[in-house]
């Protein structure tokens, strides 16, 4: 597999990031594993049902307006007082049953943002349509410190660092014996 951003050949198809530019490659590996398409996109394009919580609440509001306000007024003007009362009761209690039933039983019309695949992320830096501000860059720019920023330690403040090196037991014993002979 090659990185689509910089063309760097990757060691394995399971590599998560490009070793040269840092581009996330998990989506590229998934596209390659599925023959060039993402199964998550097919799920996003499925035809959605009209029976959702939002549509149920809207239908309940129209039910209330139609029965309680419109039909009750018409029957009241026509002189059918019992029928006007019945339509008002059907409008109020029918609306309550529709709204409560839709909120409890119907699926949500919102997309679950946590369940969306990574295809919803903006394209990384350097790709067509990507940002050029560098906010998605995987690695920071290389930093260096000039040699002139370093200075030698003050005279008399040197430390012998040879004692920090790991030595074998034989060498350490020989050094101690040599030190005793010199004394």
125 lies in some domain? no
Domain C-terminal end among 105, 121, 140: 105
Q: Sorting pLDDT into bands at 50, 70 and 90, what band is 94?
A: very high
Cα–Cα dist 52/65, whole Å: 20
Most confident range (mean pLDDT) of 5-14, 25-34, 56-65, 172-181 is: 56-65
CB 15 within 8 A of CB 1: yes
86 vs 33, more confident: 86
Stated pTM of the model: 0.40
| 108/118 Cα distance (integer angstroms) | 22
35 shares its domain with 11? yes
Give the mean model confidence (pLDDT) for residues 122-130. 49
DSSP 162: G
Q: What are the φ and ψ backbone dihedral angles of 24, each rounded to 5 degrees?
A: -65, 125
2 - beta bridge partners?
9
Say yes or no: 58 and 38 in one domain: no
Predicted confidence (pLDDT) at residue 134 exceeds the cutoff of 50:
no
Six-digit token pair at 56?
């149920």
Residue span of the structural domain in which 86 resides: 53-105
Give residue 18's pLDDT. 83
- pLDDT band of residue 65 (cuts 50, 70, 90) is very high
Domains in the chain, number = 2
Which range among 48-57, 134-143, 159-168 has the greatest average pLDDT? Answer: 48-57
Q: Give me the helices (H) in the chain, please.
A: 26-33, 39-44, 53-64, 72-78, 81-105, 169-182
Tokens representing 75 are 């029957």
Residue 62 and residue 39 share a domain = no
Q: Is 3 within a domain?
A: yes
Q: Is residue 182 part of a domain?
A: no
Q: Which residues pair with 90 in a beta bridge?
A: none
Determine contact, residues 27/41, Cβ cutoff 8 Å: no
pLDDT band at 118 (very low <50, low <70, confident <90, very high): very low
Gap between the Cα atoms of 18 and 3, Å rounded: 6
pLDDT value of residue 87 = 92
Residues 101 and 58 occupy one common structural domain: yes
The pLDDT score that the predictor gives to residue 113 is 47
């Amino acid at each position: 597999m090659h990185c689509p951003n910089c063309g760097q050949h990757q060691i394995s198809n399971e590599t998560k990031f490009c070793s040269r530019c840092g581009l996330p490659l998990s989506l590229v590996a998934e596209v390659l594993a599925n023959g060039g398409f993402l199964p998550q996109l097919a799920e996003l394009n499925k035809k959605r049902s009209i029976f959702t919580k939002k549509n149920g609440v809207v239908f309940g509001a129209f039910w209330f307006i139609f029965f309680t306000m419109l039909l009750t007024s018409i029957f009241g003007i026509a002189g059918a007082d019992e029928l006007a009362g019945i339509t008002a009761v059907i409008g109020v209690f029918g609306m309550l049953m529709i709204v409560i039933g839709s909120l409890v039983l119907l699926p949500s019309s919102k997309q679950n943002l946590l369940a969306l695949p990574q295809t919803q992320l903006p394209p990384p830096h350097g790709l067509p349509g990507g940002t050029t501000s560098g906010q998605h860059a995987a690695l920071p720019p290389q930093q260096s410190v000039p040699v002139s920023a370093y200075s030698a330690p003050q005279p008399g403040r040197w430390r012998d660092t040879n004692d920090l090196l790991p030595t074998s037991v034989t060498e350490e014993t020989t050094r101690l014996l040599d030190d005793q002979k010199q004394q």
